[in-house]
Amino acid sequence: MGSQWTKDNIYRKSVREGYRARSAYKLIDINQRFNIIRKTDNVVDLGAAPGSWLQVLRTMTEGQLLGVDLNPIVPMENVITVTGDFTTPEIQEKIMEHMPLVNVVVCDAAPHLSGAKAYDQARIMALNEDALRFAEKLLKQGGNFVMKSFQGTDFNELLELVKERFYSVRVIRSTATRRGSTECYIVAKNFIGDADDDRKKSSE
């Protein structure tokens, strides 16, 4: 009963404040706690539909924003949207053409779940790994990465992969996550990057 009330309460709040989904409050919570996004950051949002994280990002940065999703995203001012699968080379090239310099990558994407726990967890981990690999292509040195995941089989292995590429990695549960859910967020700061990639070296 409590979890249902939490769901309804946050949903009503999102409608009242004009957000496209309740997930908006997850990004607000994460940024308040970890200061992931700064005022001039260029940000790519993977799995962005319906666009609630893009709505929040517009209030956090004056930099360029791009959202990509399999489903079309209702346009919003000063936001580039791409419809397609971000795991494919064609869509990745299109994103990189629009966003040659990226400070932050966020990913709230999750596959449609079948209800078969082992199968679903494997698909979640595969999507997480795809998001991580693409983030590595996009981010400049010192950049930040936030990704939704679910704790379960192979989660620790995924976490180790992230730790190999970022100096600071935390796993957190958002205050807006439904009770009883295994959903969590990997918050990775300060991308190690490639010392030979002059284009993506930090200017700080």
pLDDT of residue 17: 53
What CATH number does residue 94 fall under? 3.40.50.150
Hey, which residues are catalytic here?
A: 148
145-155 in b/e burial notation, b at 16+ Cβ within 10 A?
bbbbbbeeeeb
Burial of 128 (0-12, 13-18, 19+ CB in 10 A): buried
**193 among annotated binding-site residues:** no
**53 labelled ligand-binding:** yes
Residue 88 neighbours by CB under 8 Å, 6+ apart:
none
Query: Looking at residue 164, what is its pLDDT?
Result: 97
Annotated binding-site residue? 29: no
201 in any annotated domain: no
Residue 199, domain member (yes or no) = no
Residue 56 lies in a domain: yes
In a domain, 167, yes or no: yes
Question: Which residue segment(s) compose the domain that 104 sits in?
Answer: 2-194
Confidence at residue 85, expressed as pLDDT on a 0 to 100 scale = 97
- pLDDT less than 70: residues of the chain: 1-21, 195-204
Provide the domain count of the chain: 1
- Residue at 202 is within a domain: no
* SS3 of residue 98 by DSSP: helix
CB-CB contact of 131 with 147 (8 Å): yes
The string of pLDDT tens digits covering residues 134-187 is: 999 999 999 999 999 999 999 999 999 999 999 999 999 987 777 778 899 999
pLDDT of residue 3: 42
Residue given tokens 């595969």 in the structure block: 126
Residue 203 forms part of a structural domain: no
